[in-house]
Amino acid sequence: AQKVTQAQTEISVVEKEDVTLDCVYETRDTTYYLFWYKQPPSGELVFLIRRNSFDEQNEISGRYSWNFQKSTSSFNFTITASQVVDSAVYFCAQLYTGGFKTIFGAGTRLFVKA
């Protein structure tokens, strides 16, 4: 069965600090996708990244970076030099090929204080 665990319920940092959001997934499938979504206070869900299980290369996009490690079933998300606008709930999610449901973790609420 699929499961996505985001152990950090809330994180509070001061602006310009780096912060890492943890995501651990469980699956028996060899082919699957992992995602991160952002939900700002306005409530919509914003797609950030998709990773497939065959691609373990880390990715960097501006201040965002993602570390995918199959050996530990983790797909962690780091924000470098955080800004107040990064304050949001961040969801990690998983989809296996052949399935219909994207399974979401419970989310991590990030507070970035000025």
Partner 1 sequence: NAGVMQNPRHLVRRRGQEARLRCSPMKGHSHVYWYRQLPEEGLKFMVYLQKENIIDESGMPKERFSAEFPKEGPSILRIQQVVRGDSAAYFCASSPIRSGTLGANVLTFGAGSRLTVL
Q: Which residues bind partner 1 (CB under 8 A)?
A: 6, 31, 33, 35, 37, 42-45, 47, 50, 91, 95-107
| Helix/strand/coil percent split, the chain, to 5 | 5, 55, 40
CB-wise, 1 or 114, nearer to partner 1? 1
* Distance in Å, CB of 106 to partner 1, minimum: 4
CB of 57 to partner 1, least distance (A): 17
Q: Determine contact, residues 26/73, Cβ cutoff 8 Å.
A: yes
Task: Find the length of the chain.
Answer: 114
**Nearest alpha carbon to residue 63 among 41, 83, 44, 37:** 83
Residues in contact with 68: Cβ distance below 8 Å, sequence separation at least 6, in sequence order: 34, 51, 55, 56, 57, 58, 74, 75
Assess contact for 98 and 68: CB atoms under 8 A.
no
Residue 31 or residue 83: which is nearer to partner 1 going by CB? 31
C-beta closer to partner 1: residue 62 or 98: 98
Q: Give min distance, CB of 81 to partner 1, in A.
A: 26
> In terms of CB distance, is 85 or 100 closer to partner 1?
100
Least distance from C-beta 4 to partner 1, angstroms? Answer: 8
